[in-house]
Homo-oligomer: A and B are copies of this chain.
């Protein structure tokens, strides 16, 4: 009868922010991290509506363990969101700090960041997750901080003359949020296409265009091959 009343509610509101309650046994902590890592991957690919068991399997853990650590899906989503937003923020700051120009920082940030995908997915695509995020003050804080950083790069790039003046942070975020959905399959097309699209989109953003595209042009024959032969 260890559970005092309100324990669950507290856990759900603030999550396990490292310092909460008893400091988890070593293996428990490891499992918890695996769960979040697995959920991060799967949420990115399939959205936050996948059955809990899928996540448990991917984390090499029993469903029981998952439920013990996260009382319901919302708790899990919340934890993943906090973790993910923090990562994105870190990446953004690193880009800004390490790249010579604002444009380079922007490009690096957008290119390297698979994490960003998940953030946008959680915040803007999935209605369920959006609610969870709105109700979690910590996540909300991360989100604000992130947007501040983005704002500063975007405006700096415009001051540099590398980013067109008729867009703003919202446009940039929206544009790249479109890279969300994966093409099904795992052939060359599915692998190369996102990079090419990314480059084309960056050319669209740039004040003057002209970047070379990676890979070779994808023809309609490529699409055919993607549709027909696998089996």
Contact = CB atoms under 8 A, between A and B. Distances in A.
A134 B217 contact: no
A167 interface: yes
Interface stretch (A9-17, A90-98, A180-188): A180-188
B181 A218 contact: no
A184 B133 contact: no
Interface string A201-224: 111111011001100011110111
Interface in A155-178: 166-171, 173-175, 177-178
A220 B170 contact: yes
Given A174-B196, A228-B134, A151 B181 contact: no
B130 A184 contact: yes
Can you tell how many copies of this chain the complex includes? 2
Nearest to A196: B171
Given A134-B228, A181-B125, A227-B130, A197 B174 contact: yes
Contacts of A138: none
Contacts of A217: 166-168, 170-171
A61 interface: no
A226 interface: yes
B183 A181 contact: no
Contact of A204 (B147, B201, B223): B201
A227 B136 CA distance: 12
By Cβ-Cβ distance, the 5 closest A-B pairs, closest first, are A170-B218, A204-B204, A168-B217, A147-B220, A203-B204
Interface of A: 123-127, 130, 133-134, 143-144, 147-148, 150-151, 166-171, 173-175, 177-181, 183-184, 189, 193, 196-197, 200-206, 208-209, 212-213, 217-220, 222-224, 226-228
